[in-house]
Amino acid sequence: MESLLYSFIAGLSMALGALIVLCFGSPGKRVLSLILGFAAGIMLAISAFDLIPEAIASGSLLHAIAGFLLGAAMMYVLDLVIPHAHMTGDLDGPVKTVDAHEIHARKILRTGYLIFLGMALHNIPEGLAIGAGLQSSPALGLTIAIAIGLHNVPEGMATAGPLRAGGLSAGKVLLLTTLAGLMTPVGALVGLVAFGISEALVAMGMAVAAGAMIYIASDELIPQSHAYHSHMANFGILGGFLVGFALSG
């Protein structure tokens, strides 16, 4: 049940991101850059030093390679089918740059709904990653949950921004963002069922999590963090990688 608890908390961090936008507006780009870079660094480190080695030890090199490719392919297909955070430009862009004379609120709201759907679907593999980490050790599962939680705060902001700009009430924005985040424990539940079947699936699950997280870091977190502030992005990535490396020891 730890995986459900950790994934539930990580998923709720999307609601935290929405609350930040609703109550205070978006934080500065330097802060966002540091958060995104830190999350990327942790994801890269725990994938390289924990998940992939554990996948090989629990199964085989073939299981690790197949699972890794499957995890990356899952995220790639989701990116092709559903628009995600990086498709919207700046996370705080829809709130600050929308010109009411050129773009109607209905179009903005439609964009917000698409982002909401994309976030919800992308959160399922993230729950799977938490469950896979817990199969190795409680500490690894918690580390993955923290990284995903940090990653979900800006995603909550990306979801809340266009929904609010499109005219939805604060309550509805918070509800939709929370629902998207709660897809994370759904992914963890799927992992619990699958991992209980065989050791080979446990190994595959860890490798799938690694492939998905490295894809997320490369495709979303690192580019977004550098788009906001390159130096802060580097500090965040290095710091997150060192934390992830230390926790793997």
* pLDDT, one tens digit for every residue, the chain (249 residues): 777 888 999 999 989 989 988 888 766 788 878 877 887 888 898 889 888 998 898 789 998 999 999 989 988 887 787 655 444 444 444 444 444 444 456 766 776 676 687 678 778 877 888 887 787 778 888 888 888 888 788 778 877 877 887 778 889 999 999 999 999 898 888 877 777 767 777 788 888 888 988 988 888 789 888 988 899 999 999 998 998 888 665
Helix 29-46, helix 199-216: angle, nearest 10: 150
CA angle, 96 as apex, 91 and 101 as ends, to 5°?
125
Secondary structure E strands in 27-162: none
Helix 2-24, helix 105-136: angle, nearest 10: 150
pLDDT score of 172: 92
Mapped onto helix, strand or coil, the DSSP state of residue 10 is helix
The number of angstroms, rounded, from the C-alpha of 181 to the middle of its chain's C-alpha atoms is 10
* Boundaries of every domain in the chain: 2-20+36-248
Residue 9, C-beta contacts closer than 8 angstroms, at least 6 positions apart? 145, 149
Location of structure tokens 């995903």? 148
DSSP 8-state assignment for residue 172: H
Residue 16, C-beta contacts closer than 8 angstroms, at least 6 positions apart? 153, 156
This model's pTM is above 0.75: no
